[in-house]
């Protein structure tokens, strides 16, 4: 059984694609990759705080100055987040309905070298990790983007460095952020290679490589994001 409404002849090709399972997978993959690109750039941008508070604030200020580009990126990101989440939920519901009954014990498919199974904790927890990441994003934006507006004295520049440092001096922020980064890694560990798979970019030869690279990327991201809150919390950065 499928939850998608029937596709009529008059529907546009885009709508047909959106309603088909293949189209949903494709759009989930494309939006997921767009967000992953943002996440990598954001992580690298965070690293400027290791150089100095000035460098971090200058970077934030620069992004405010190139506002037409920033607004465009924000628009693409917002659309990607909503599309990705709604398609992810639809795909998950369809899969759940397709299973006549849930497995009492979850057993991974065959591990033979000819047809290895790519099921993992990461692939099975996508809906949960995705839901937590969505809620995190609301909290994150309320704290940093729309939160307290400190200014660098004598200028109009936002003092984002002060905001970030004050947040991660509190255990609530550091512990929850590090926990969320672990879930982000879990989500991307499956999401990254699965997106390329949905785009048809992987054949049997490169699939194990993409699978391994996704794991490496996920680990680098959790380390790259996690190091800043931990450094601040333990007083190495103030
Ligand atoms: C230590 C980790 C992080 C720090 C210190 C951090 C810091 C910030 C700050 C200061 C802003 C506001 C920038 C501004 O208003 O100019 C921001 C925005 C944002 N962050 Fe993070 N962030 C972190 C992790 C993440 C993660 C893991 C995600 C996604 C999963 C994320 C997604 C976003 C988004 C979508 C925005 C809004 C961007 C925009 O509207 O231009 N951040 N972050």
Tell me, what's the pLDDT at 19?
Answer: 85
Tell me, what's the pLDDT at 103?
Answer: 55
Residues written for the chain: 238
Domain membership flag for residue 107: no
Q: What residues pair up with 158 in beta bridges, in sequence order?
A: 151
Paired tokens of 182? 């672990």
Domain membership flag for residue 137: yes
Asked whether residue 105 carries a pLDDT value surpassing 70, the answer given is no
Q: How many structural domains compose the chain?
A: 1
Which of the two residues, 17 and 116, has the higher pLDDT score?
A: 17
Containing structural domain, residue 159: 13-100+119-233
**Hey, whose CA ends up nearest to atom 41 of ligand 1?**
74
Asked whether residue 201 carries a pLDDT value surpassing 90, the answer given is no
Q: What residues pair up with 151 in beta bridges, in sequence order?
A: 158
**Residue 32 in contact with ligand 1 by CB distance below 6 A:** no
Q: What is the pLDDT of residues 15-47, one digit of tens each?
A: 888 888 899 999 999 999 999 999 999 999 999
Asked whether residue 65 carries a pLDDT value surpassing 90, the answer given is yes
**Residue 150 in contact with ligand 1 by CB distance below 6 A:** no
Q: Which of 33, 145, 161, 226 to mutate to test the pocket of ligand 1 (most atoms within 8 A of CB)?
A: 145
Q: What is the pLDDT of residues 135-181, one digit of tens each?
A: 999 999 999 999 999 999 888 899 999 999 999 999 999 999 999 99
Tell me, what's the pLDDT at 196?
Answer: 92
Residue 2's pLDDT band, with cuts at 50, 70 and 90, is very low
Domain membership flag for residue 193: yes
Q: What are the Cα distances from residue 220, in Å, to 182, 184, 227?
A: 11, 11, 11
If you measure from the C-alpha of residue 221 to the centroid of ligand 1, how many angstroms do you get, rounded to a whole number?
A: 14
Q: Would you say 162 and 60 are in contact if contact means Cβ atoms under 8 Å apart?
A: no
**Residue 160 in contact with ligand 1 by CB distance below 6 A:** yes
**Hey, whose CA ends up nearest to atom 39 of ligand 1?**
74
Domain membership flag for residue 175: yes
Rounded Cα distance, 211 and 120, in Å: 11
Domain membership flag for residue 6: no
Asked whether residue 112 carries a pLDDT value surpassing 70, the answer given is no
Domain membership flag for residue 5: no
Which of the two residues, 139 and 198, has the higher pLDDT score?
A: 139
Asked whether residue 9 carries a pLDDT value surpassing 70, the answer given is no
If you measure from the C-alpha of residue 59 to the centroid of ligand 1, how many angstroms do you get, rounded to a whole number?
A: 13
**Residue 145 in contact with ligand 1 by CB distance below 6 A:** yes
Domain membership flag for residue 3: no
171: domain CATH number is 1.20.1300.10
Query: Residue 85 contacts by C-beta under 8 Å, 6 or more apart in sequence?
Result: 130, 134
Domain membership flag for residue 189: yes
Which of the two residues, 10 and 58, has the higher pLDDT score?
A: 58
Residue 141 CB coordination number (10 Å): 11
Tell me, what's the pLDDT at 120?
Answer: 84
If you measure from the C-alpha of residue 73 to the centroid of ligand 1, how many angstroms do you get, rounded to a whole number?
A: 13
């Amino acid at each position: 059984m499928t939850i998608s409404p029937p596709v009529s002849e008059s529907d546009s090709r885009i709508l047909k694609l959106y309603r088909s399972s293949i189209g949903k997978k494709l759009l989930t993959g494309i939006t997921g990759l767009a967000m992953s690109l943002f996440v990598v750039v954001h992580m690298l941008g965070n690293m400027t705080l290791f150089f100095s508070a000035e460098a971090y604030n200058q970077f934030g200020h620069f992004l405010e100055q190139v506002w037409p580009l920033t607004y465009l990126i924000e628009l693409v990101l917002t659309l990607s987040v909503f599309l990705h989440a709604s398609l992810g939920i639809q795909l998950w519901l369809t899969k759940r309905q397709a299973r006549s009954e849930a497995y009492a014990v979850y057993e991974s498919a065959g591990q033979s070298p000819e047809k290895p199974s790519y099921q993992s904790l990461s692939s099975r927890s996508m809906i949960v990790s995705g839901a937590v990441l969505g809620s995190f994003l609301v909290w994150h934006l309320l704290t940093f983007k729309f939160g307290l507006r400190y200014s660098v004295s004598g200028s109009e520049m936002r003092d984002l460095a002060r905001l970030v440092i004050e947040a991660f001096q509190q255990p609530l922020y550091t512990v929850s952020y590090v926990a969320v980064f672990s879930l982000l890694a879990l989500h991307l560990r499956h999401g990254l290679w699965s997106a390329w798979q949905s785009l048809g970019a992987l054949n049997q030869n490169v699939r194990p490589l993409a699978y391994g690279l996704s794991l490496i990327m996920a680990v680098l991201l959790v380390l790259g994001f996690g190091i800043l809150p931990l450094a601040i919390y333990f007083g190495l950065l103030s």
